[in-house]
């Protein structure tokens, strides 16, 4: 059962499809691809939305860095994007904290915990960022941090559970876009 969040305090409402376990991550699908340990199946099904949230946050932070580098940065937009990323990261970290990781899943759980820490650190750096012409060293450090986060995301990937770096089904959340799209397609 999902707990309702206070109005206006969450990026995703408690009933948002973003937290649903994707069809390829339900227990039967995980067993069908060869994951047989019941505790691992439960963990993978519960960890998939967390992995996907971290992936989206990484994309948002990458986008901010790209906007700044190309000169298309607008501080107000940057703040909104970073606020949204921080909110999503906080929600995902909370969910990760509630996951039980059996011994076979402990390494993956640790990878996700480390990924959350790296994303939080990069987010903090981007909030303080002041890049000016000639600030190439700072830019290089930020890009190196971004690559480090991406490497950890790759390390935490588990294709059999649908945890892969590329998935276009949630490119941008608007809590209902898929439902509206499905309703429009049905007309």
Say what angle helices 38-70 and 106-128 make with each other, to 10 degrees.
20
**H or E stretch at 156:** none
Vertex 178 angle, CA 177 and 183, to 5°: 100
Which CATH code fits 20-186?
1.20.120
For the ranges 43-47, 72-76, 159-163, the maximum mean pLDDT occurs at 43-47
Instruction: Report yes or no: 149 and 58 within 8 Å, Cβ to Cβ.
Output: yes
Nearest to 52 by CA among 140, 157, 185, 160: 157
Q: Which residue's entry shows tokens 């950890």? A: 152
- Residue-wise pLDDT tens digits, 108-120: 899 999 999 999 9
Query: In which band, very low, low, confident or very high, does the pLDDT at 29 lie, cut at 50, 70 and 90?
Result: very low
Residues facing 158 on adjacent strands = 163
3-class secondary-structure state, position 161: helix
- So where are the chain's domains? 20-186
The pLDDT, as a whole number, for residue 32 is 45
Give pairs for 67-74: CB < 8 Å, separation 24+: 68/129, 68/131, 69/131, 69/139
Instruction: Report yes or no: 32 and 162 within 8 Å, Cβ to Cβ.
Output: no
Choice among 11-20, 125-134, 167-176 with the minimum mean pLDDT: 167-176
CA dihedral sign of residues 20, 18, 163, 182: positive
């Amino acid at each position: 059962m999902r707990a309702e969040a206070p109005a206006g305090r969450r990026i995703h409402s408690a009933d948002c499809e973003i937290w649903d376990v994707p069809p390829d991550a339900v227990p039967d699908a995980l067993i069908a691809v060869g994951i047989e340990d019941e505790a691992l199946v439960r963990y993978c099904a519960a960890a998939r939305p967390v992995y996907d949230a971290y992936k989206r946050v990484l994309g948002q932070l990458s986008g901010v860095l790209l906007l700044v580098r190309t000169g298309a940065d607008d501080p107000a937009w940057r703040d909104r994007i970073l606020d949204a990323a921080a909110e999503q990261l906080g929600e995902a970290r909370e969910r990760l904290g509630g996951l039980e990781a059996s011994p076979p899943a402990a390494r993956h759980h640790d990878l996700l915990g480390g990924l959350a820490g790296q994303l939080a650190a990069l987010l903090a750096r981007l909030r303080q960022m002041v890049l000016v012409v000639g600030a190439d060293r700072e830019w290089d450090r930020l890009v190196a941090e971004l690559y480090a986060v991406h490497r950890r995301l790759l390390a935490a990937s588990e294709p059999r559970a649908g945890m892969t770096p590329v998935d276009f089904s949630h490119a941008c959340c608007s809590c209902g876009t898929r439902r509206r799209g499905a309703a429009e397609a049905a007309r």
